Amino acid sequence: MTECQITETRNAVQAIISALGRDDIGVGDVSHEGDAVHFTLTKGRFTHSDQISADLLADKERALPALNGILLKLSKAIESEHIEAAAQGR
């Protein structure tokens, strides 16, 4: 991918995440292998790497539920740490 394509893909992923109401999550590294777009999501010090098919990403209506499922993985990691911290009295 060219730098321009990487930027366009990052912006596309970020736009869908924002459409899901999650402006608090950013998109970091983005790459393209075969038909898959690999990306890293960040929220504070938490990160989650995942992938989505390029065809799916191109169709915003189909990409919304797929990215929502990926966002849940990041949210669960954050929630697990918060629960653990609360249990330890932090």
pLDDT digits over 57-72, tens only?
999 999 999 999 999 9
* pLDDT at res. 89: 80
State the DSSP string of 45-89: TEEEEEEEEHHHHHSHHHHHHHHHHHHHHHHHHHHHHHHHHHHTT
pLDDT at 90: 62
Q: Give dist(CA 10, CA 89) in Å, integer.
A: 38
Q: What ranges do the domains of the chain cover?
A: 3-82
With cut-offs at 50, 70 and 90, classify the pLDDT of residue 40: very high
Summary mean pLDDT of the chain: 91
